[in-house]
Amino acid sequence: MVKLNNPVSATNGEIKLWINGTLISNLGYQFPSGTWSYNHFTEGPGMPFEGFQFRNDNALNLNYIWLRNFNDKKWVQAHCQR
């Protein structure tokens, strides 16, 4: 699920990701809290997630989502436990 930022100047976009019906990631404006390590956000103690600014014009909409990388269930269970 992708929620586009509105207004377009805001960083209130959101992404939710499920694998086989199980929610494994939910990132949006001010949730969850955690830390950044290079390009990877890890939930836990830290600062609230800053959200996404996917667009800067109301005419821009979402056409598709391209999942470029997928890891098997064993990796997800080991690294994405809630």
**Residue extents of the structural domains in the chain:** 2-79
Q: Tell me, yes or no, if the pTM score tops 0.85.
A: no
Amino acid making up residue 75: W
> Mean pLDDT across the stretch 72-77?
60
Q: Where are the beta strands (DSSP E) in the chain?
A: 2-3, 14-19, 22-27, 33-37, 40-43, 47-48
pLDDT on residue 70: 66
pLDDT > 90 in the chain, percent: 51
The overall average pLDDT reported for the chain is 86
CA nearest neighbour of 18 among 78, 70, 74? 70
